[in-house]
Amino acid sequence: MSLSETKLILTKDLNFNSKKLELIELFVQEVLNYNQKFNLISKNSEKEIWNRHVLDSAQLVNHIDHKNFNSLADLVLERVFQELFYLYFIVTFSRFT
């Protein structure tokens, strides 16, 4: 898939505006720059970063409850708290069995 096709999917199907695309472009450049030193992604996937990494990650946007979460960090924290509560529940009630 070409870069233009990927950007078209991001704008038409996932409702990314031009400002968000500009920010993603900056992020992609930074990932590629840092990848030279820290091996963040496979060297083989650098050519496909927009399709393999950006588009794959962006598809999660459709699964985020935007009414209750302002950011991905809010969503992650909510999930962490759910897991901690679950673990607390298991540990607490396992004492009674």
Confidence bin at 76 (pLDDT 50/70/90): low
Residue 97 has pLDDT above 60, yes or no: no
Residue 7 has pLDDT above 70, yes or no: yes
The pLDDT > 90 percentage for the chain reads: 30
**Is-contact 43 13, C-beta < 8 A?**
no
The pLDDT > 70 percentage for the chain reads: 69
Do 20 and 55 have their domain in common? yes
pTM of the entire predicted model: 0.65
**Is-contact 48 56, C-beta < 8 A?**
no
Do 9 and 29 have their domain in common? yes
For the chain, helix (H) and strand (E) counts, in that order, are 4, 0
- For the chain, the domain total comes to 2
Residue 8 has pLDDT above 90, yes or no: yes
Tokens of 73: 């960090």
Do 29 and 75 have their domain in common? no
Do 73 and 43 have their domain in common? no
Instruction: Name the residue range of residue 51's domain.
Output: 1-63
Do 14 and 44 have their domain in common? yes
Distant-in-sequence contacts of 82-85, Cβ < 8 A, 24+ apart: none
Do 25 and 57 have their domain in common? yes
Do 56 and 77 have their domain in common? no
CB atoms within 10 A of CB 50: 22
